[in-house]
Amino acid sequence: MPLSAEPVAKPIVIAHRGASGERPEHTLASYERAIALGADFVEPDLVMTRDGVLVARHENEISGTTDVAARPEFAHRKTTKSIDGEAVTGWFTEDFTLAELKTLRARERLPKLRPQNTVYDGQFEIPTLQEIIDLVRANETAAGRRIGLYPETKHPGYFQGIGLAMERPLVAMLEKNGYSHAGDPVFIQSFEAENLKELRGLTKLRLIQLMGAEPHFAAMTTPEGLKSVATYADGVGPAKALIVPVSKLGKREAPTRFVADAHAAGLKVHAWTFRVENYFLPADMRKGLNPRGRGDMAAEIRLFVELGVDGVFSDNPGEALAALE
């Protein structure tokens, strides 16, 4: 029997980088598609431009999600930097003004797994946080429902170190748009505890400590570690493997006590990331041998709901919502 937590309300569905299973991630088209499918929250990952504007990209290195490498006028901007201790080569948002980034066009990050999305390559700009908020607000009016924002600060310590700290600009942007109270439909997430602790002193908006399955998160995932997280955050965003480990051969292992321990510490649990492609699913939930074939994501989501999660991040919010019905 799986370890189950106390009964919870219907989990929220967070559109991971928008409806990124159907449109190139972090584009207004991706967020708009997610809203049309009924997602409760849209998730923009945020990085900074050279002129201090918050824009949506999964990483500050943008060669994988834009056409920058094909732009001869920016060839000289290619460089190697140390990002969180790792050498990364490419083109970085902090070396471009917003006006320069707006000349680039988005492209599908996973073309081999999602060839259907490549038909949109070259169509969409890099959006600013304000443009995403404007889109959300316009759709709230049209749909007659609140639509949540779930921004993630990407590499905030790195950006702080180069004089482009994200915390105050992010809080100011959200407050300017009417998001300032704990009850507002906003969660701010980060992998970096120091970033969240600084944000805790700046805002009453709910904060989420992200956690990967890597060893350096291990202390944070213990009952004691989760109690410590609860002193500055309202919830945790664990990788799926922290709740249901999967072997190197793709076999699901026994669920852990993570959800129960997090709930005992008073924390919400929003697990990531649920995707329809076989490549991302445990072996017994795949259909066929093609890595990009569509497996049984719904079964995986239902398993995690049984284990008590309060929310799911999904590249496929339409299918995620259907799985919760």
Concerning whether 16 is annotated as a catalytic residue, the answer is: yes
d(CA 195, CA 234): 14
Q: Which among 58, 155, 263, 270 is annotated as catalytic?
A: 58
Please say if 263 is a catalytic residue. no
Beta bridge pairs of residue 148: 41
CB atoms within 10 A of CB 218: 12
Check: CB of residue 20 under 8 Å from CB of residue 36: no
Phi, psi of 222 (to 5 degrees): -75, 165
Tally of CB atoms within 10 A around 229: 24
- What letter would DSSP give residue 265? T
Residue type, 314: S
How many CA atoms, within 13 angstroms, populate the side-chain half-sphere of residue 121? Answer: 17
- Residue 174 CA to its chain's centroid (Å): 18
What 8-state DSSP symbol labels residue 264? Answer: H
How many of the other CB atoms lie within 10 Å of CB of 205? 24
Ramachandran angles phi, psi of 46, nearest 5°: -115, 135
- Please give the Cα distance from 81 to 189 (Å, whole number): 24
H/E stretch holding 166 reads none
> With contact defined as beta carbons under 8 Å apart, do 263 and 6 qualify?
yes
Query: What is d(CA 184, CA 10) in angstroms, rounded to the nearest whole number?
Result: 18
The catalytic residue positions are 16, 58
